[in-house]
Structure 1
Amino acid sequence: MTTHPAETVHDALREEPCEDVGWLPAPDGFAACALSSSARTVPEARRFTRATLEGWQVCAGLADDAVLVVSELVSNALRHGFREPGPDGEGAAAPAPFCNAWLALTRQESTVLCAVSDAGPGAPVIRPRSDLAESGRGLQIVDTLSESWGWTPPDRSGKTVWAAMSVRG
């Protein structure tokens, strides 16, 4: 598994500690939901993430970061992982109405792991920064907001892209 740590950039962007003074680690947790190729998938994934993290009593700053990271991971899954195989069994013919894709959230002590699994065969690639680009900033956002992120090697069933975030404070 490849890991891409966001070394000092993350700390520079979010130097303030978690402001929820009363925050205490809740019990560890796991939550998952199936994803569809619907236009409502990204907003539903954001709502699912926020509701889950609020239930786990995760501080608002970390929850905000996790919602944005999940939004980017799910958007990438919709764009690159929701495809039916082409006539030759490779490539992409058309968007699949339903796909074997999932969003999973897990919490252990002060760390939240967000993972999105999709059927796409390609590994994620961070695009070079460009002020004029209309897209391609999603993984840069994930890299900046997470302590580490990576993916499982793609195989016949696809891949899982994950990001880990911790409460600082």
Structure 2
Amino acid sequence: MTTHPAETVHHALREEPCDDAWWMPGPNGFAACALSPSAGTVAQARRFTRMTLQGWEFCAGVADDAATVVSELVTNALRYGSPDGDPDDICAAWLALTRQEATVLCAVSDAANSAPVVRPHDELAESGRGLRIVDLLSDSWGWTPPDRLGKTVWATVPRRT
């Protein structure tokens, strides 16, 4: 489990996304999707993840796990990803998927300049479990050091044999 900053190469995803999600298909093992701050964005991200992993011939179970991880990362990016940290300011984000030997890397970039926070366990809380779910479904996860452009939160979901 990795829950500390780690360098990745997703700074190319820092461009402004369009209102409508677009995607770059990845038969070569990379796919990216611009995410708008709209109500259906999380569902679009899950669908994008499942379709991409199906095209890469990952089994349905891995696609489901990756879609759940993406759902949590995208939800956090839209909710907490504003540059000033205002949770009421819904912002856009980027999703990137990279096929690797034994895993798929799911990375979500947003404009926030603060690190993600794992909330303390609270059985009665109505929210705050997202990063715990990411931790359970991934081999490792972490984030790039936040800077003036934001950060990328990533997780690697293992390929089942």
The normalised TM-score by structure 2 is 0.79
Tell me whether 1:69 sits opposite 2:69 in the alignment. yes
Distance 2:31 2:49 in 1: 9
- Corresponding pairs, count: 139
1:95 maps to amino acid: D
- Where does residue 142 of structure 1 map in the other structure? 134
Q: Letter of the aligned partner of 2:52 in structure 1?
A: T
Give the Cα–Cα distance (whole angstroms) in 1 for the partners of residues 100 and 83 of structure 2.
Answer: 35
What is aligned with 1:95? 89
List per-residue Cα deviations over 1:16-39 (Å, max 9, x = no partner). Answer: xxxxxxxxxxx7500001011101
Please tell me the residue identity of whatever aligns with 1:127.
R
| CA distance, structure 2, for counterparts of residue 151 and residue 93 of structure 1 | 19
The 5 Å alignment of 1:73-152 reads 73-81=73-81, 83=82, 85=84, 91-92=85-86, 95=89, 99=92, 101-152=93-144
| TM alignment of 1:25-64, pairs within 5 A | 28-64=28-64
Q: Contact 2:119–2:129 at 8 Å: present in 1 too?
A: yes
1:24 is aligned to none
- For 1:55 and 1:44, locate their aligned partners in 2 and report how far apart those are by CA, in whole Å: 16
Shift of the alpha carbon at 1:60? Answer: 1.1
For 1:6-17, list aligned pairs within 5 A: none
Match of 1:4 in 2: 3
Structure 1: which 4+ aligned runs deviate by more than 4 Å? none
RMSD of equivalent CA atoms:
2.1
Q: Which has the larger radius of gyration?
A: 1
**For 2:35 and 2:66, how far apart are their aligned partners in 1?**
17
Larger RCO: 1 or 2 (CA < 8 Å, sep 6+): 1
Cross-structure match for 1:153: 145
CA distance in 2, matches of 1:161, 1:28: 22
Whole-Å separation in 2 of the counterparts to 1:93 and 1:142: 20
Give, in whole Å, the separation in 2 of the partners of 1:40 and 1:93. Answer: 18
Assess, with a 3 A threshold, how the Cα gap between structure 1 residues 93 and 149 changes in structure 2: closer, same or farther: closer
Q: 2:7 corresponds to which residue?
A: none
Gaps of 5+ in 2: 5-26
Given that 2:80 and 2:86 are in contact with CA atoms closer than 8 Å, whether structure 1 keeps it comes out as no
Name the amino acid aligned to 1:133. Answer: A
